[in-house]
Amino acid sequence: MTAGYTADEMMAVTASRALRDGMTCFVGIGLPSEAANLAQATHARNLVLIYESGTIGAKPGALPLSIGDGILAETADTVVSVPEIFNYWLQPGRIDVGFLGAAQIDRFANINTTVIGQDYNEPKVRLPGAGGAPEIAASCREVIVVVRQSLRAFVEKVDFVTSVGFGDGPGCRERLGLTGAGPRKIITDLGVLEPDPVSLELALTGVCPGVSVSAVKAATGWELSVSASLKELPPPTTAELAALRRLRTATPATEGATR
């Protein structure tokens, strides 16, 4: 890390910049939660964080380990039941952006978090499964995916479609009745991929400082096209890095240990 920051820190900062102030954001745990909390701590103070545990408007101030840590409930505007968070809040398309991770992602941004291997009944690796992701991917107005880039993760075709990106290409989301627009950005530790406006296939639109296009291609399991307007992503600012490191080291306040 000669640049004074790590690839993971660059990824978190890039992801946080994809969120605008005042947005409502459905947040998965892990990398997405880190990026969303960083955005709230820096340029997007009024970002509304919504976790599938039913906490709406959480302001944890430190990274929760789970989507149900007490700090989320204590700092939320309101806490609703699990059926309600999915039925009343996510399903009608009230939420601007869904922030997801992936174990595998393909050229049409379909996501697999279920099994690795062709045979569902005899998987090579059993992954956690769907959680809230299929409906987040279907119903949020748009989706951002944060995932480390490698040949293992970026595959021609996912082994199992847990969450639909653009299916098999143009027209698919409409045919399936998916109300949200689908993935807008795939943010990785090497750069940013975005769907081509016509083919909807993911194309490289940004590279992290010091990362070559050939390095990104070498970590992608299909013939990756490169946007004509490819840019180098701006490195993290001192303030962003400081905020991120503060988030990572902060211990969530002990929740509700008094009656």
**Burial of 54 per CB tally in 10 Å (0-12, 13-18, 19+):** buried
Residue 104 lies near other proteins (rule: CB under 8 A): no
Binding-site member from 15, 50, 72, 186 for other proteins (CB under 8 A)? 72
Residue 7, amino acid: A
DSSP H helices, the chain, are: 7-17, 31-41, 70-75, 82-84, 133-139, 172-176, 213-218, 238-249
Q: Are 174 and 124 in contact (CB under 8 A)?
A: no
Binding segment for other proteins among 41-49, 131-139, 190-198, 205-213 (CB under 8 A)?
131-139
Quote the CA–CA distance of 97 and 31 in Å, as a whole number.
Answer: 15
* Cβ-based neighbours of 223, under 8 Å, separated by 6 or more: none
Binding region for other proteins (CB under 8 A) out of 18-26, 81-89, 204-212, 217-225? 81-89
Is there a contact between 96 and 23 (Cβ–Cβ < 8 Å)? yes
Least separation in angstroms between residue 140's CB and other proteins is 12
- Candidates 9, 52, 201, 240; catalytic one: 52
DSSP for residue 137: H
Exactly one of 86, 142, 213, 235 binds other proteins (CB under 8 A); which one?
Answer: 86
- Binder among 138, 144, 207, 247 for other proteins (CB under 8 A): 138
End-to-end Cα distance, the chain: 47
Tokens describing residue 177: 């009745």
Coil, helix or strand at residue 8: helix
Residues 4-33 that bind other proteins (CB under 8 A): 29-30
Find the shortest distance in angstroms from Cβ 183 to other proteins.
Answer: 13
User: Is 198 among the residues that bind other proteins (CB under 8 A)?
Assistant: no
Torsions phi, psi of 221, nearest 5? -85, 10
Pairing verdict, β 183-187 and 142-146: parallel
Which residue in the set 3, 151, 176, 250 belongs to the binding site for other proteins (CB under 8 A)?
Answer: 176
Per-residue tokens: 149 = 């880039």
Name residues contacting other proteins, limited to 215-254 (CB under 8 A). Answer: 254
Which of the stretches 63-71, 144-152, 195-203, 225-233 binds other proteins when contact is defined by CB under 8 A? 63-71
Q: Is 142 a catalytic residue?
A: no
187 counts as binding other proteins under rule CB under 8 A: no
- Residues with catalytic roles: 52
Interacting residues with other proteins (CB under 8 A): 29-30, 52-55, 64-70, 72-74, 78-79, 81-83, 86-87, 90-91, 114, 120, 123, 125-135, 138-139, 160-164, 167, 172-173, 176-179, 254-259
